[in-house]
Amino acid sequence: DNSTVYIGKYFGSAVYVDALMHLSYDETRIDDAATLQGLELQPEFGLELETPFADIRWNLAPNIDAMLNNIIVSSTSLTLSWKFSF
């Protein structure tokens, strides 16, 4: 119940790819076709690029329930971050 698996891999020194799989159990959705006997999978995928001026991160968290209903709307974010050192 409420288990999470996280994996990540660097490709060179500037590219990082990661995936997070969150499993949760919902007893009210045992007979739901979108779950496996109430076990729900919530994946997230990310890509981070290190540039000379800023880090760029793209994150994607697809909604499996929406995809089963042919509604391809995922939670996507794009993040820019930078830091200064003196």
Is 76 among the domain residues? Answer: yes
Asked if residue 37 belongs to a domain, the reply is yes
Q: What is the pLDDT of residue 7?
A: 97
Residue 35 pLDDT:
72
Residue 42 is predicted with a pLDDT of 85
pLDDT tens figures, 27-81: 777 777 667 777 788 889 999 999 988 999 999 988 877 777 777 666 889 999 9
Which residues lie below 8 Å from residue 34, measured CB to CB, with a gap of 6+?
Answer: 40, 64, 65, 68
How many domains is the chain built from? Answer: 1
pLDDT confidence of 1, banded at 50, 70, 90?
Answer: low
Residue 9 forms part of a structural domain:
yes
Structural domain of 36:
3-81
